[in-house]
Structure 1
Amino acid sequence: MAKQRKVSNLLGLAVLSTVAAKPMHPYEMASLMRERGKDRDMPIKWGSLYTVVRNLEKHGFLDVAESVRDGGHPERTIYRITDAGREELADWVRELIAVPEREQPRFLAGLSVWQVIAPDEVTDLLRQRLALLEKEIDGQREALTGYRREVPRLFLVEVEYELAIREAEAAWTRSLLDELTTGSFPDLAAWRAWHERGEMPPEVAELAERGGAPD
């Protein structure tokens, strides 16, 4: 089970990992995180950056290294990571790697109620999704090949993981499509009859009453 952290926003994790290299102003933090694609690795709301930085400072994970003024620009506060911040960063990373948590992607939400759409339409929608997935996978494979020429694998494992997840999703979607198109998917006839008749057949109603898979 995930720990209750004083700063739980994953943007805090990104900030700590960025500032661990050297002290910097929040604007520089944001620039580096964008350059490194952190907003692809984790949900980031850039508008909350200053609030997250202040919370990290409040809880002793960051402190002020210096305040500088550049010409007529407003004074800028440079933050550095503290020993407590380094400990929090390492502990947070350990937890994220070691402790699995159930994630709920949008696709899962759609699949949980897909029966409200006729199976033939679902099949068409899955074909659309698969085509987009395959295009995305091709792009990710090409990008990863390019990265490997210049970037040590130490800094590419999250890209490899994302690609593996996409490939697994595409393989599963392809298998599901095969069941729908060949007619081997269980309950397909009852599902199709429901939409053809405009009312839920008794066998489908029984399935709905039993509910989905247990948590």
Structure 2
Amino acid sequence: MPTRRPAAVPPPPKRPANPLALAVLGLLLEQPMHPHAMVGALRERGMDAAFKLTTGSLYDTVRALVRDGWIEVDGTEQAGNRPVRTVYRHTAAGRDGFTDWLDELIREPAPEYPRFLSAVAYLGALGRPRAAEALRERAAALRERIAQGAEAYRAAREEHGVPRLFVIEAEYAAALAQAELEWVERTAAEIEQGTLAWPEGDGR
């Protein structure tokens, strides 16, 4: 009797380069959804601050995820006189690929290169007064961002009833922004008080 070969396991989908794909896949882990609802959910949860989000960019991302086998059409829905909308869900391979990708991202710290980190390396080139002024202006912008994020988080939790686990990334973002604000204000104060050593003849 011939031995039956095991079915070939399909390769995992190619991982998207666009970080917005991660947000789309995360939403579809909760339930099937159409792109218009995805945009609303991401904005409601304040995640449009973490991703470059427009209706066009989200539709492009959805098309790419369908093309690469991450998601598939689940059906259509129509409310009243509104246009018929296509609802998407994870493919089996897409769901497994997403959870594996997520697991890797959470477990393994990866080097990131924000623009501010690169600029701070050359803070001394500005001279003391200009460096302190620039840091103070950044601190003001950070305080505003923190306040806006807190309001978006409050609205998502209290007005829309979004479970904390679904907006927990906002808590992480707020913690990062608060830590940056404290460092920026402390460094600006050191420059203003003259306690941060500066290259001789470059105090401008």
Deviation track 1:171-201 (CA, whole Å, cap 9, x = no partner) reads 2122212321222222343322xx4xxxxxx
Are positions 1:123 and 2:135 aligned together? no
Equivalent residues of 2:128, 2:192 under 8 A apart: no
- Structure having greater relative contact order (Cα 8 Å, sep ≥ 6): 2
Deviation at 1:5, TM superposition (A): 4.1
Could you list the per-position Cα deviations for residues 78-136 of structure 1 after superposition, in whole angstroms to 9, with x for gaps in the alignment?
22212112112211221221121222333223323333322211112222222333444
Secondary structure of residue in 1 paired with 2:201: helix
Distance verdict in 2 for CA 1:50–1:165, change over 3 Å = same
Aligned mate of 1:179, from 190, 197, 202:
190
- TM-score (structure 2 length as normaliser): 0.74
The structure-2 alpha-carbon separation of the partners of 1:31 and 1:136, relative to structure 1 and needing over 3 Å to count, comes to: closer
Q: Which segment drifts farther, 104-113 or 168-177?
A: 104-113
Letter of the aligned partner of 1:157 in structure 2? I
Question: Are 2:46 and 2:153, in contact at CA under 8 Å, matched by a contact in 1?
Answer: no
1:58 aligns with 2:67: yes
Unpaired runs of 5+ residues, structure 2, are 1-12
Matching residue of 2:97: 88
CA distance in 2, matches of 1:143, 1:31: 13
Bigger CA drift: 72-81 or 99-108? 72-81
How many residue pairs were aligned?
190
* 1:154 aligned onto 2:165: yes
Q: Distance in 1 between matches of 2:15 and 2:184?
A: 39
Q: 1:19 corresponds to which letter in structure 2?
A: L
Please report how far the alpha carbon of residue 10 of structure 1 lies from its aligned counterpart in structure 2 after TM superposition.
Answer: 1.6
Aligned partner of 1:198 in structure 2 is none
1:159 and 1:23, CA in 2 relative to 1: closer, same or farther beyond 3 A?
closer
Asked if the contact 2:132–2:189 (Cα under 8 Å) also holds between the matched residues in 1, the reply is no
2:202 & 2:164 partners in 1: Cα distance? 47
Between Structure 1 and Structure 2, the one with more helix by share is 1
Uncovered stretches (5+) of structure 1, i.e. residues with no partner: 196-215
Q: Is the 8 A contact 2:46 2:170 kept in 1?
A: no
Contact 1:16/1:81, CA 8 A, preserved across alignment: yes
Superposition RMSD in Å: 3.2
Q: 1:3-18 alignment to 2 at 5 Å? A: 5-18=14-27
